Amino acid sequence: MHDIADGSVARLIEEFLTDRATRKPSPHTLAAYRRDLTIVAALTGPDGTTPLPIGRVPISTLSPQVMRRAFARFAAPRATASVHRAWSTWNSFFTFLVAEGVVPGNPMPAVGRPRAPLPRPKPLRGEDTPEELLAAVARERGRQRDPWPERDLAVLALALCAGLRLSELLALRVASVAGRDGERRVDVAGKGGRPRTVPIEAAVDRVLVDYLDSRRRRFGARSVRPDSALLVDRRGAPLRRGGLQYLVESCFRRAGIGDRVPKGARLHALRHTFATRLAEDGASAAEIMRLLGHASLASSQTYIEVTAGQQRAAVRSNRTNQALANVLSGG
């Protein structure tokens, strides 16, 4: 059992971040943890006007009342999403401290938490943009140093036609593509350890077959063993996160659609395009949830709500509706 009275918040934050680092979060995520913990900890003083040096804040002073005051001060100038993220970070921090025997309980359930807004979908902009992207990448360009259109097209097809996340694409094996003709599928290791199966149609299957054939020609038959990574770089090594992001961005540039990719979306814009088109074509929220591997129906429902809003905007812009509005207004 740790000595609660001698445990400074600063030291315990470092222990918590060390524990989190073993789970391999991104540097951005670790920086966000540190920022949320240190900023709120500095607001735990009695008046909140002078930030406290957190090296002098003992963990034993962070009662539910103190944390409520600190979060009220933290929330005042910030957006809901930022407050929700900080609450979750502190909840994880105290859960860690309870497990380590540093504190007897977690005060965060007594601290109000705003409901996190669901992120808005960010599909590619433009009705025919996905088709333009696929067509451009399928054409081998002479100015590329080492063109591999079969591989690039396979990446885009899996994201645009199966809705896979970046991490899911990287986790695919050659054997992940399975099933008989007419019943082909991709077995996906989904987020949060939730496996799922996504059906693929004949066109996607053909793209993958062409890609694997091209890989055999480049690296030999041993390169496409069932347990090999499905997606590899131009040296035959498994693609990594940065390499896959760069590949997708280069596809956007080659297709000339960079201005139609929502800021910060990158590969996720392809997944959102898949889901948005499902909604536009009448898929239910439950179907979208299963295909995308969402943890909750609410995440899937956002695609249907966005589509419904777009449909209403289109109807509103119809010239006949506008003419009727003018008649009613006496114009």
Q: Which of 249, 269, 289 is the last residue of a domain?
A: 269
Whether pLDDT at 188 is above 60: yes
pLDDT tens digits along 264-286: 778 989 999 988 888 888 888 88
Which range among 80-94, 228-242, 262-276 shows the weakest confidence by mean pLDDT? 262-276
User: Could you confirm whether 294 is annotated as catalytic?
Assistant: yes
Rounded to an integer, the average pLDDT of 84-110 is 94
* Domain coverage including residue 103: 4-110
Greatest C-alpha distance within the chain: 79
Catalytic member of 69, 151, 196, 268: 268
User: Could you confirm whether 303 is annotated as catalytic?
Assistant: yes
Within a domain: 148? yes
pLDDT tens digits along 154-185: 999 999 999 999 999 999 999 999 999 889 99
Which range among 23-32, 53-62, 156-165, 315-324 shows the weakest confidence by mean pLDDT? 315-324
**How many structural domains are present in the chain?**
2
> Which amino acid, 241?
R
Q: Taking the chain, what is the end-to-end CA distance rounded to the nearest angstrom?
A: 79
Spatial CA neighbour of 128 closest among 312, 256, 266: 256
Catalytic member of 184, 191, 266, 290: 191
Catalytic member of 20, 151, 271, 272: 271
My answer on whether 105 and 229 are in the same domain is: no
Catalytic member of 34, 113, 165, 260: 165
- What integer pLDDT is reported at residue 282 of this predicted model? 82
Question: Between the CA atoms of 185, 190, 194 and 199, what dihedral angle is there, to the nearest 10 degrees?
Answer: -20
Helix and strand element counts for the chain (H, E): 13, 3
Quick check: helix, strand or coil at residue 256? Answer: coil
My answer on whether 144 and 201 are in the same domain is: yes
My answer on whether 42 and 144 are in the same domain is: no
CB-CB neighbours of 63 under 10 Å: 12
User: Could you confirm whether 271 is annotated as catalytic?
Assistant: yes
Which range among 176-185, 193-202, 296-305 shows the weakest confidence by mean pLDDT? 296-305
Within a domain: 322? no
My answer on whether 91 and 210 are in the same domain is: no
Specify the higher pLDDT residue, 275 or 119. 275
- Spatial neighbors of 101 by CB under 8 A, at least 6 apart, are 1, 2
Within a domain: 295? no
